[in-house]
Copies of this chain bind each other. A is one copy, B any other.
């Protein structure tokens, strides 16, 4: 039913500036069509997006300066997995650093790709529950504003122009679907 994978005739490493590694793939598709594709290899262990819930109906959002867009972005806690950390450990640490909470219960859901056609970067969606107050110092330049939002009102949240990160939005909806299935 599914189409066979393209044949890889070769992989060439094109080293670039600032530690980035770009690869060129020489591919032949099942119809005989041959193409060169480039992709960017992720550095590090990936990332986590943390849907943290102080109660079963509410999600914690943080407001953080986003240099790419040069404005504040409102969304779930997120950050890179440090060497040696599990996704659960990274999620709990980032939650303490960015929102001032720890979680006694962490569920790792789906990995999300940032740009599957060009990048190998992925981020795990993690649902954090049974929260308790605990702050760890992070590397943020300022303490982040924390806001609470009803999980039932994600549609209204989409009207906020400060909510724009595709993976963060996907994480919120995926967590909501998963929680709905869990509670039946």
Contacts and interface: CB of A to CB of B under 8 A. Distances in A.
Interface of A: 2-3, 5-6, 8, 16-18, 22, 25, 27, 29-31, 33-35, 37-40, 63-73, 110-123, 141-142, 145, 154-155, 158, 164-171, 173-174, 177-178, 180-181
B120 A68 contact: yes
Contact of A40 (B2, B29, B68, B70): B68
Top 4 closest A-B pairs, CB basis?
A166-B167, A37-B67, A155-B177, A66-B116
A72 B116 CA distance: 9
5 contacts: A25-B67, A33-B142, A38-B67, A68-B116, A115-B165
B164 A115 contact: no
Contacts of A178: 155, 158
The DSSP consensus for interface residues of chain A is mixed
A33, A35, A116, A168: which has the most chain B beta carbons within 10 Å? A116
Contacts of A5: 65, 70-72
Nearest to A180: B155
Contacts of A65: 5-6, 27, 29
A174 B158 contact: yes
